[in-house]
Amino acid sequence: MRPSSLFEIFLPRSDLSIIKRLVLDKWRKYAPLYVVAFALMFVVAGATALSAWMMKDVVNLIFVEREGSALMWLPAVVVGVFTAKGIASYFQEVLMARIGNAMVAETQTQMFNHLLGQDLTFYQRFASSELITRITHNAQATREAVNLLATSLGRDLVTLVGLVSVMVVQQPMMFAICALGAPIGIYMQKKLVRRIRSVSQREVLSYGNIVSTMRETAQGIRVVKSFTLESAMSARMNESIGAVERVSNKIVSVNARVNPMIDTLGGFAVAGVIFYAGWRSLTYNETPGEFFSFITALLMAYEPARRLARLQVRLSQACIGVQMMYELIDTKPSMIEKPGAPALKIPRGQIRFDGVTFGYAANAPVLRDLTLEAEAGKTTALVGLSGSGKTTIMNLILRFWDPAEGAISIDGQNIADVTMHSLRAQISLVSQDVFLFDGTIRQNIAAGVGDPSDEAVIAAAKAAYAHHFILGLPAGYDTQVGELGNQLSGGQRQRISIARAFLKNAPIILLDEPTSALDSESEQAIQRALAQLTERRTTIVIAHRLATVLNADRIQVIDHGRLAESGTHRELLGQGGLYSRLYDIQFAQGDREAV
């Protein structure tokens, strides 16, 4: 019988393939440490078997034959054996814990780096709560699976083999009696494994619901409070916690079935051994040393046998987490760089769309055969009704997605043919949805720039008209912004975002409604900062408020994913088209004539 076929008696083939991959992934790096751990486990196993074997001499030499010399050397040997076992057990446990912790750290780093390499389509598929659960729970599952396997094979199995050898040598017939219950145990274990797999997967998903509810409550606490949603969120959390509790109780119930099964089978085995040994002693007047040695080995074999019996269930449970980890790691980005792609070089900064068609997932196209140009070193404004495709244009320039048809080029270089890092390193995005990292103001301004000097950070803040309000904060540039920047006002967050763009000093600037949610005073300060930021840089700006783009070098009017009109503000007003209608909606006739 092939080794894999033998293992399939105890584990499903799907679990075996997961375990095989995990071992191959981790073995090369951790093999030397596992060799040392296995050596220590063998010492523990050998000492356990030897202590059972010695019971024969203890009983026969001291209590039956009454040898005085044995009373001197046997206790000393027992002390030595158990001391060696204790020392080896301690170092083995510490070493296995350190291997497991290193494995968890490595797995979490691998998973996070893999997530960073994914495109936006991936993050539309997976909720953040699910990703958090996978990177924590699944990484722990790798340690659980590998350490379970190593400990069970290196300590429990070897210990059991040693004790079984003692039993076979001392009393082969009594061992045959004990082995009668093994097929029953294996059959019942396979039924428990099938049950534990379905329950364990539900447990992981239930944890994800708790994380999701907590994240939404923390990030949306203003909405929760203002709409008095406390009761609704509490009910949602209680349901999620209750689901975890129910699933956890079910797992405990399934796991607990192993112990009574082993206890019952063990009881029958011990009873059979006592009956057979008593009959042999009464009938043939045999010495009790072999019996005591056998029964000691049998009782010592109880714990490793029970751990091995639970191994099947616990390993199958851990395989659920490992499988989910590999599902994540095996997910390939839908957008990849071409092999040997060169870095983007921007001598001027001209951006061009040639016949670009694009739609999100299976939805209808957002852009349809779009052709437009943003001139180098000038400001191009994108205007149009909501949903016309303006933000999509910026997303495509940053290559968050690739167009289905057509090409996007910068200074004649197709952005699909250059490295993503070189593309995004030369573009600064300032959006209405400002994202600040949990950290200090200084760290947020310097994000993505490496380790700039304090002078460079302050100069960027001054250019963004942020220096004054930063100095007024309790810790100045070392003030913590809080989660999502909730310690700052909207205008302050926006100015930090602009300071970040100043420090990056990219030749291309993308402005997506940067002043839409600000009061008039904040907007004026930010408009002055933006005027400095965009000077002599290729700039594309989206604005629903047309007053913010009146002085753009060129205004591109987007309608249903196509370029409807193009020109300066006065030229478009004179055409009397869509731009003119949008302008009339926002301004009175007198204002139009005054412009």
**Residue 528: both structure tokens together:** 């002055």
Cα separation, 595 vs 593, in Å, equals 6
pLDDT exceeds 70 at position 237: yes
| Six token digits for residue 213 | 């509810």
Mind listing the pLDDT tens digit for each residue in 2-35?
A: 444 444 545 566 677 888 888 888 777 888 888 8
CB-based contact 358:401 (threshold 8 Å) = yes
Cβ–Cβ < 8 Å for 567, 554:
yes
Nearest Cα neighbor of 159 from 74, 40, 295 is 40
Angstrom distance (rounded) from CA 491 to CA 518? 6
If you compute the radius of gyration of the chain from its CA atoms, what whole number of angstroms results?
36
The region of weakest confidence among 52-61, 159-168, 472-481 is 52-61
| pLDDT at residue number 558 | 92
Q: Where are the alpha helices (DSSP H) in 171-257?
A: 172-178, 182-219, 221-226, 230-256
Q: For residue 502, give the 3-state DSSP assignment.
A: helix
Q: What does 403-472 look like in DSSP terms, one character per residue?
A: -SEEEEEETTEEGGGS-HHHHHTTEEEEESS----SSBHHHHHTTTS-S--HHHHHHHHHHTT-HHHHHT
pLDDT band at 257 (very low <50, low <70, confident <90, very high): low
Q: Looking at the predicted structure, is the pLDDT value of residue 373 above 60?
A: yes
Compute CA distances 158 → 185, 301, 459, 477, whole Å: 20, 11, 68, 61
| Three-state secondary-structure class, residue 481 | coil
Residue 585: CB atoms within 10 A of its CB come to 8
pLDDT of residue 6: 43
Q: pLDDT by residue (tens digit) across 140-183?
A: 888 888 888 888 777 778 887 887 787 777 777 777 766 665 56
DSSP 552: -
Instruction: Copy the structure tokens of residue 595.
Output: 């412009």
Residue whose token pair is 């753009």: 552
Q: Is the pLDDT of residue 304 over 90?
A: no
User: Using 50, 70 and 90 to split pLDDT, how confident is the model at 261?
Assistant: low
Beta bridge partners of 357: 405
| Tokens 């019952």 -> residue | 264
Give percent of the chain with pLDDT exceeding 70: 81
pLDDT band at 354 (very low <50, low <70, confident <90, very high): very high
User: For residue range 392-450, what is the model confidence (pLDDT) as tens digits?
Assistant: 999 999 998 899 899 999 999 999 999 999 999 999 888 878 888 888 999 999 887 87
Amino acid making up residue 108: Q
| pLDDT digit string, tens, across residues 495-530 | 888 888 888 888 998 988 877 655 666 667 777 777
Give tens-digit pLDDT for 97-137.
888 888 888 888 888 888 888 888 888 788 787 788 788 87
Mean pLDDT of 533-544: 85
**pLDDT, tens digit, 9 for 90 and up, residues 220-230:** 777 777 777 78
Q: Which of 3-7, 33-37, 214-218, 449-453 has the highest mean pLDDT?
A: 33-37
CA 406 from chain centre, in angstroms, equals 35
Tokens of 152: 């069970």
Bridge partners (DSSP) of residue 372 are: 353
Mean pLDDT value across residues 561-579: 89
Dihedral of CA 10/15/21/23: which sign?
Answer: negative
Cα angle 490, 494, 497 (rounded to 5 degrees) comes to 145
State the Cα–Cα distance between residues 503 and 447, nearest whole angstrom.
Answer: 9
CB 557 within 8 A of CB 577: yes
- The full set of domains in the chain, from first to last, is 11-329 (1.20.1560.10), 349-426+508-517+537-595 (3.40.50.300)
Q: What whole-number distance in Å separates Cα of residue 244 and Cα of residue 238?
A: 10
Mean predicted lDDT score pLDDT of the chain: 80
pLDDT at 64: 65
Backbone angles phi, psi at 534, to 5 degrees: -90, -5
